[in-house]
Structure 1
Amino acid sequence: MYLNTHSYYSFKYGTMSPNELLEEARTKGVFTLCLTDINSTAGCLEFVREASKYGIRPILGVDFRNHLQQLYIAIARNNEGFQEINEHLSKHLREGSPPIPSGAPQKWQNVTVIYPWEIYRKSLHNLLPHEWVGIKPHEITYLHLQKESLPKNKLVALVTSTFRHKRDYNTHRLLRAIAENALLTKLEPWQLAGDVDHFYSPAELATIYKETPQLLLNAERIAGESGIFFDFSDDRPHQNLKTYTGSETNDFQLISKLCQDGVSYRYGKPTRQIQERINKELETIRAKGFVAYFLINWDILRYARSKDYFYVGRGSGANSIVAYLLHITDVDPIELDLYFERFINLYRTNPPDFDIDFSWRDREDITQYIFNRFPNAALLATYSTFQYKSVARELGKVFGLPSIEIEEMNTSTKSGKVPDQLVQKIMSYSQLIHDFPSHLSIHAGGILIGEKPMTYFTATHLPPKGFPTTMFDMVLAEDVGLYKFDILSQRGLGKIKEAIDIISNNNPADPKIDIHDIKRFKKDERVKELLREGKAIGCFYVESPAMRMLLKKLKVDDYLGLVAASSIIRPGVARSGMMREYILRFRFPERRKDAHRVMMDIMPETYGIMVYQEDVIKVAHMFAGLSLAEADVLRRGMSGKFRSREEFQEVRERFFNNCCEKGYDKKLTEEVWHQIESFAGYAFSKGHSASYAVESYQSLFLKAYYPLEYMVATLNNGGGFYKPELYAHEAKMHGAIIEAPCVNKSENQTTIDGKTITIGLGSVKDLEATTIERVLGSRHKKGLFLSLEDLVSRTGISLDQLTLLLRVGALRYTGKTKQRLLWESHYMFGKMGGAKSKMQEQQLFGLPSIKDFELPALTVDPLDNAFDELDLLGYPLCDPFLLLRDIPFEPVMASQFPAYLGKTVTMLGYLIATKNTSTLKGDAMHFGTFIDQEGNFIDTTHFPQVARKHPFRGKGFYRLTGKVVDEFGFYSLEVSEMEKEALLSSIKMQNA
């Protein structure tokens, strides 16, 4: 009877989660239920997965609508019918596609279609065998009044179930107002569901349809003929493409041959240990059915190499020697003694993770190749959910509150002020709507490649990226046996690739760099020095203030140390206190005696401390005695994806029970569990950290020997952890001369000639791409620009775009001051009829000549350029400290820290970065990164009391007072007072 129900995956319409819908059905004694969300199958797999827990037989369908006009309900009689529905819906979810037609496809073979009575009345078409006319509860009383003939034997009860109670209906109204961006009081009736669309009990429906019981019987007949099945069991077969060559035998022969070919390249002559590891992995891969998964990754990366694309393979798959031999990763698992069972084991249902990073310039082509090469591919979706504060703001608008009251809403409870009745209502519904799915988004890099068409599992939509995208997320994909390929974008790889090209052009006599010669980089003394001293600005993953601090504390200068540091820095390890403990055990060997004997035996390399993600499996298996299957459930649960699931809770109990049986002290067990719980979801696998370390070494080598070229590549690839200003500063610290953009020298991107770096035109704020194309196109074709008039005549530039170029100094080749050029440009455009004059007009009538007027003396402030650069580039090209008025104190420099250890000093710092965090009690505190007048870093700590009293007030200069402290050789300032200093521009503005 329940053939038209909605969950909250009818986005901004429905109000119940699939579980709430199922619970409502069970409460009312309903044991067959059909989910038909509006133009959506986002909740279907979750609905089927959860239904058995409620003793309910699930059916799937779609409520097809144009906007909110219900056209027909399509109900899948079986999985093939669900696929037919998905294919139909997918055609109409693509941008630019026609609206959903008023009639359902006639060719459907496995679908039941129900037309609402009001829709059928307009067409009165001959119904096909699988088509019905739905009569809603409120329409029964009018049924006998209709004069037109109705197909009596084709009528069915159509009960739309969207709400449980009035609160759900009110929530629906609020969601609709948000969706329509309208005041609640301005919503039209057609923009809302009827309040009759609530979940009736079977007894209520029997009463409503008592004079036409056949309609209920017809509904039960349709439900009885319909069904759906997806395998969510632990031993389900995966649904990825099962063979690469078309034959499992041929697949295994191919992967075996590729491994043997790879051995000679990677190892020369393999040892017995290597060959045994290869054989063990291959047999496990074949037993689990993952051969095609490896070969697909190999195929993608073979294409990447053919196009000379840089990439890094990481993730748990980096623990695999097969992946190493197939060039999926560059991490040698034998060298690093990587834990095989983290990568794959016979109890693991999902394949290993291969996160493949490409340059941001190359990734789109790789994605296009995948979709061309493999027919059943789709991008993976994520759900963007409503968050409490954003919902409160939206509801404030819906109720017509002014913006100032909306902002005050979030502070009223914190200040102790009792909110009024309306605000209380907004807060209550904000909490209710919190975590509702708002709309579909796209996973950062997940691509599914299935054995079956993706429409077997879901409808697909076509977002701006232009590739079919699922309507379910990664968790549900894995539950049903679809495992993603991660094709990710990373600017660090673009930096490395471009740096090599820039180095070759700027240093033509130097030998070509083999960027894959990692063994050489690991031994290089310059690289070791950069690591030990944390001088890695611009270098992948090791440039952040936290990483710079850790490297200096550890004095890391080798590969294994960097691999460990890459995982230790992750939030979980740091927050659990184990990062500090690792540093202590690293620096002071006697401290290692504190480690529990079993933990030390399991993880000798990291002194008994869990550092890597696979340590969870090791500890669970070897310390607590869990099976590998249970240990893997624990690892996955710690990621946050499964923490609330029953299987995770069961394994958690088993962990504590086993530790108790082994006689471990309860405090020890709780401490070990705390370590697992606090970091496993954040820490890297060792292979993943090793992959990161390889890329770090590549960038460190380039920085060590070619710092200027590497900084140019960094600027051209979106920077890194910091803003462009710091990379320009770093280049200057290495002797670069940095020049402002110039129409006669600059390209779109920043360039270097010898030691002179010229900022690219693309760095100028608000300078349009078409303007840059015209300027560069004319210069490359016709030569340098000779004058202001020549530039305007040849490019047809508008006055506002020309003004940007003049202000940034891009016409300094004329020898005229910026002020003179600005005056001349306004005179010229005034004669041409205004700032909107076009190229065609200039060619027809020519440019007016600029009279050689005697201008009054124009005041030229040497710092005018700096302020224009600050506005248009985001930073001044001169020493930023020149922008300060005189400082009435002598600041201490960072280079003097050792002499002032333990003393209170006052420093002057230019703010580079801040990190906001909180104490264990939840109090806000901050870390700051500044540079001083010598160009060195000042690292600061702002404890809660100071953070409240002396907050950061945006970019600029700060007077910092505090105590100099040293921890493991890393100096920093514990701030007690902080005051922002005024710029010269502020004085100029006041005088003006």
Structure 2
Amino acid sequence: MAARHLRPNHRYHLADGTELAARFADLPEALANTRAVAARCTFALDFGPHVFPAVPVPAGRTPDEQLRARCRAGLTDRYAAGDPATWRRAAVQLDHELAVIATLGLAPYFLLVGDVVRFAREAGVPCQGRGSAAGSVVAYTLGISRVDPLAHRLLFERFLSTERASLPDIDIDFGHLGRESVIQYLYRTYGAAHVGMACTVQTYHTRGAVRDVGKALGIPAPTLEAVARRVRRRLDDTLAGAVAAVAGEAALDSRLWGHFVALCEQLVGTPRHLGIHNGGVVVTGPPLGELVPLEHATMADRVVVQWDKDSLELAGLIKLDVLALQSLDLVREAVALVERHEGTTIDLDRLPLDDPATYALLTAADTIGCFQVESRAQQAVAPLHRPRTFDDIVVQISIIRPGPIQSG
């Protein structure tokens, strides 16, 4: 009875409800039973709390106590020489942030990030935290960020809040030349069994689907390349239009090409293969092999976690963003050249924010090699906007980004 429902070779795929209903139209009871069983299949993965690595903490101290001690020391370094009122504001804000971090159980994460930044600076690797972490006094006192959140009126809640259960987003840029030494430090400190690279899931685009599906169906390679070229150049509104232009309108009525178009459309957006995240490093307490699927990386003694950043976050695993930024190497080289040729030592943490010559360069769009303001869009806007204060620069960079541009 069931033999006539067996799938032909070209239909070995997971059928949807509509297809199953058509295939088993004469067996309504079987369809009803299938729906009933499916309705009873409820399951949810409860991953529990975050899985932190074993961050080194002095004997007799908890991670929260160690974080408070380090932040208090940093508070003295950052604010003690300034206005007493600012010191008091910073101390109150620090206590508030530490309370939020303790409530969310995130002290080990901040200690981990702070330790990585400390190592980089001591090793001479230029590094800088960016993003919403700049709104945190904790990040400032740990040295993760070099931007005073009080002086620039930045909002901590944009970075971290008890209303959000996810890990805070701390992006750290390291000099391109020294990034590998930072990753090696993580391996030495936490062990190779506890450190791996995060992956990215590369999905099918139409051109890739055209090539893979066509090859599987035995369509000649030159024909596939002709279709793929039309897709790349966007010469047709649809894939079917590209097929018609290459193989003729009648081809769409054939079983082969109709099946080809349907399969390509199904594949677009589905996973094709895994890649390595450009900066994501996973660090765990238990060995990685006990928690996640792994594969060997091309570099010896390195593994790649076969979960992307969203899956890692869902499972409560810790991913550090160890990003490489060549601009930091260029800045360090420029500082060294100035000292060598001019005899002037530049402290990047104490650069004046009101230097007229700097704003003259920005207004003239003379920004090649200047991170964030060297794009064509930034160079086009600078002479019109004519920034004269640091806040002007912040506004200019903020509005020329994908989000604001796409929103109009």
Per the normalisation by structure 2, the TM-score is: 0.80
Specify which of 81, 84, 88 is matched with residue 272 of structure 1: 88
CA distance in 1, matches of 2:183, 2:264: 38
* Alpha-carbon shift at residue 395 of structure 1 (Å): 2.9
Q: Of 477, 481, 490, which residue of structure 1 is paired with 2:325?
A: 490
Q: CA deviation at 1:430?
A: 0.9
3-state DSSP class of the match of 1:380? strand
Total equivalences in the alignment: 363
Distance 1:238 1:302 in 2: 23
CA shift, 1:512, in A, is: 2.5
1:516 and 2:349 correspond: yes
In the alignment, structure 1 residue 394 sits paired with structure 2 residue 212:
yes
Change (3 A) 1:401 1:289: same
Instruction: Give the CA deviation at 1:526.
Output: 0.9
Please give the alpha-carbon distance, in whole angstroms, between the structure 2 residues aligned to 1:500 and 1:330. Answer: 17
Deviations 1:595-637 (A, max 9, x none): xxxxxxxxxxxxxxxxxxxxxxxxxxxxxxxxxxxxxxxxxxx
Deviation at 1:534, TM superposition (A): 1.9
Question: What corresponds to 2:21 in structure 1?
Answer: none
Q: Which residue of 2 aligns with 1:295?
A: 111
Report the AA paired with residue 231 of structure 1: D
Q: Give the equivalent residue in structure 1 for 2:188.
A: 372
- Residue matched to 1:587: none
Distance (whole Å) between structure 1 residues aligned to residue 31 and residue 136 of structure 2: 47
SS in 2 for 1:547: helix
CA spacing shift, 1:54–1:347, aligned 2, 3 Å? farther
1:344 is aligned, of 153, 160, 166, to: 160
Query: Residue 427 of structure 1 is aligned with which of 261, 268, 289?
Result: 261
CA contact (8 A) 2:195 2:282 kept: yes
Greater shift, 412-421 or 478-487, is seen at 412-421
Amino acid at match of 1:514: D
Q: Deviations over 1:924-950 (max 9, x none)?
A: xxxxxxxxxxxxxxxxxxxxxxxxxxx
Q: State the shift of 1:27 in Å.
A: 6.9
Question: Partner letter of residue 553 of structure 1?
Answer: L
| DSSP 3-state at the match of 2:349 | coil
The DSSP-based 3-state class of the residue aligned with 1:271 is helix
Q: CA deviation at 1:427?
A: 1.7
- Determine if contact 2:204/2:268 at 8 Å carries over to the other structure: yes
Q: Structure 1 pair 327/27, CA: closer, same or farther in 2 (3 Å)?
A: farther
1:384 is matched with: 202
Tell me how far apart the structure 2 counterparts of residues 231 and 25 of structure 1 sit (CA, whole Å). 31
- Asked if the contact 1:244/1:292 (under 8 Å) is kept, the reply is no
1:538 alignment partner, one of 361, 364, 369:
369
Structure 1 residues 419 and 488: CA distance shift in structure 2, 3 A: farther
Deviation of 1:309 after TM superposition, in Å, equals: 0.9
Match of 2:102 in 1: 286
Unaligned segments of structure 1, at least 5 residues = 1-13, 32-52, 59-228, 578-992
| 1:37-52 → structure 2 map (5 Å cutoff) | none
CA distance in structure 2 between the aligned counterparts of 1:373 and 1:497, rounded to whole angstroms: 27
Query: Residue 257 of structure 1 aligns to which amino acid in structure 2?
Result: A
Read off the aligned partner of 1:430 and give its amino acid letter.
Answer: C
In structure 1, distance between residues paired with 2:206 and 2:39: 30
CA RMSD of superposed structures (Å): 3.0
Following superposition, the deviation at residue 356 of structure 1 comes to: 0.8
One-letter code of the match for 2:126? F
- 1:355 — aligned with what? 171
**CA deviation after TM superposition for structure 1 residue 277, in Å:** 0.4
Q: Secondary structure at the match of 2:201?
A: strand
Q: Aligned pair in 2 of structure 1 residues 470, 30: CA closer, same or farther (>3 Å)?
A: farther
Q: Are the equivalent residues in 1 in contact too, given 2:293–2:307 (CA < 8 A)?
A: no
Partner residue of 1:480? 315
- For residue 445 of structure 1, give the secondary structure of its aligned residue in structure 2: strand
Question: What is the alpha-carbon distance in structure 2 between the residues aligned to residue 310 and residue 27 of structure 1?
Answer: 63
Structure 1 374/500 Cα, relative in aligned 2: closer, same or farther at 3 Å?
same
2:386 counterpart of 1:552: no
- Cα deviation for residue 273 of structure 1 reads 1.5
Sort the Cα spacing of 1:427 and 1:285 in 2 relative to 1 into closer, same or farther, 3 A.
same
Q: Deviations over 1:877-930 (max 9, x none)?
A: xxxxxxxxxxxxxxxxxxxxxxxxxxxxxxxxxxxxxxxxxxxxxxxxxxxxxx
Are residues 1:451 and 2:285 paired?
yes
- In 2, distance between residues paired with 1:55 and 1:301? 50
Contact 2:338/2:344 (<8 A) preserved = no
Identity, % of aligned positions: 27
- CA-to-partner distance for each residue in 1:30-77, whole Å, 9 max, x for gaps? 96xxxxxxxxxxxxxxxxxxxxx964367xxxxxxxxxxxxxxxxxxx
8 Å Cα contact 2:197/2:277 also seen in 1:
yes
Q: Is the 8 A contact 1:26 1:56 kept in 2?
A: no
Q: Name 1:28's counterpart in structure 2.
A: 34
Q: Please list, as runs of the form range in 1=range in 2, the aligned pairs for 1:174-189 lying within 5 A after superposition.
A: none
Q: Do the aligned partners of 2:171 and 2:321 also contact (CA within 8 Å) in 1?
A: yes
Deviations, residues 471-506 of structure 1 (Å, cap 9, x unaligned): 11111111121232110011111211223334445x
User: What is the CA–CA distance in structure 1 between the aligned matches of 2:210 and 2:345, rounded to whole Å?
Assistant: 58
1: distance between equivalents of 2:209 and 2:55?
46
Aligned residue type for 1:512: T
Aligned to 2:226: 408
Contact 1:358–1:487 (CA under 8 A) maintained in structure 2:
yes
Q: Amino acid of the residue matched to residue 494 of structure 1?
A: D
Q: Mark the CA change 1:330 to 1:449 in structure 2 (over 3 Å): closer, same or farther.
A: same
Question: Residue 346 of structure 2 aligns to which amino acid in structure 1?
Answer: I
Q: 1:423 to 1:281 in 2, by over 3 A?
A: same
Larger Rg computed on CA atoms: 1
- In 2, Cα distance between equivalents of 1:343 and 1:248: 30
The DSSP-based 3-state class of the residue aligned with 1:262 is helix
Secondary structure (helix, strand or coil) at the match of 1:334 reads coil
Tell me, what secondary structure is at the counterpart of 2:345?
coil
**CA shift in 2, pair 1:240/1:402, >3 Å:** same
Query: Structure 1 length as normaliser, TM-score?
Result: 0.34
1:312-364 deviation line (CA, Å, top 9, x unaligned): 10122221111001100111111121112111111221221111111111111
Q: Provide the rounded CA distance (Å) in 2 between the counterparts of 1:277 and 1:266.
A: 14
SS, match of residue 501 in structure 1 = helix
State how far apart, in whole Å, the 1-side matches of 2:157 and 2:405 are.
Answer: 25
Residue by residue, what CA displacement relative to the aligned partner does 1:137-195 show, whole Å, maximum 9, x if unpaired?
Answer: xxxxxxxxxxxxxxxxxxxxxxxxxxxxxxxxxxxxxxxxxxxxxxxxxxxxxxxxxxx
Map 1:677-696 to 2 at 5 A: none
Distance 1:491 1:395, change over 3 A: same
Contact 2:198–2:277 under 8 Å retained in 1:
yes
Unaligned runs of 5+ in 2: 1-11, 18-29, 231-235
Alpha-carbon distance between aligned partners in 2 of 1:248 and 1:315, rounded to the nearest angstrom: 34
Cα pair distance change 1:26/1:474, threshold 3 Å: farther
Does the C-alpha gap of structure 1 residues 27 and 244 become closer, same or farther in structure 2, counting only changes over 3 Å?
farther
Q: Which amino acid aligns with 2:197?
A: L
SS in structure 1 at match of 2:187: helix
Match of 2:27 in 1: none
CA contact (8 A) 1:242 1:289 kept: no
Residue pair 1:532, 1:556 contacting (<8 A) in 2 also: yes
Q: Is the CA contact (8 Å cut-off) linking 1:259 and 1:326 kept in structure 2?
A: yes
Distance 1:316 1:530 in 2: 28
Amino acid at match of 1:569: I
Counterparts of 1:378 and 1:414, CA distance in 2: 44
Q: Which residue matches 2:125?
A: 309
